[in-house]
Amino acid sequence: MNRPIRVLVAKPGLDGHDRGAKVVARALRDAGMEVIYTGLRQTPEQIAEAAIQEDVDCVALSVLSGAHNHLFPKIVNLLRDKGGDDILVVGGGVIPEEDIPGLKDAGIAAVFTPGTPTGIAIDFIKQNIKRA
C-alpha cells in the first residue's frame, strides 16, 4: 500500500492543554503523514468512532490532566469493540513513569513524556503501524 500513514491526534477528556497535541500533529504532517486533529473535549466514544470512520492507522492521544489511566484504556477497548484492533494507539502528556507499564498492558503501544523529540514519536509510529 502506498497511501500515507493516517493518524488521528486526539484530546480525550476535559483537558484544554493542546500545545503538545498540535505540535505533534504538525510534526507528523511534516513527516508526510495525513493527520486529523479532533479538537478538545472528546469522549472515548467519539474518538473511537472517528478513528474507525477516518480509517486511521494510528491514534495518538494526549492528556495532561492526570486522567490518562481512566481514558486511555477505555479508548483501546472501544476500538477493539468496533473492529479497530489493528489500529496502533500511542499516548503522551504529563504521565508518571510508574503508570506506563499499566498503560502498556492496557494496549497503549508507547507513552511519550515531556521532552520527547517529535522524531522519536514519528519513528515509532512508522515502525509499529500494523499494515505494511
Q: Which residues bind other proteins (CB under 8 A)?
A: 13-19, 22-23, 25-27, 35, 37-41, 43, 65-67, 69-71, 94, 96-98, 113-115, 117-119
> What minimum distance in Å lies between the beta carbon of 18 and other proteins?
7
Do 125 and 58 touch, CB atoms closer than 8 A? Answer: yes
Reading the block at residue 61, the C-alpha cell is 492521544
How many angstroms separate the CA atoms of 68 and 98, rounded? Answer: 12
Closer residue to other proteins (CB): 25 or 56 = 25
Report the nearest approach of other proteins to the CB of residue 72 (Å): 10
Question: Pick from 93, 42, 43, 38: which is nearest to 64 by CA?
Answer: 93
Nearer to other proteins, 66 or 109 (CB): 66
Q: Which is nearer to other proteins, 10 or 87 (CB)?
A: 10
Find the shortest distance in angstroms from Cβ 130 to other proteins: 25
Q: In this complex, which beta carbon is closest to other proteins, that of residue 83 or of residue 105?
A: 105
* C-alpha–C-alpha distance, residues 92 and 63, integer Å: 7
Tell me how far, at minimum, the Cβ of 118 lies from other proteins, in Å: 7
CA atoms of 33 and 52, how far apart (whole Å): 17
Please say whether the beta carbons of 51 and 8 come within 8 A. Answer: yes
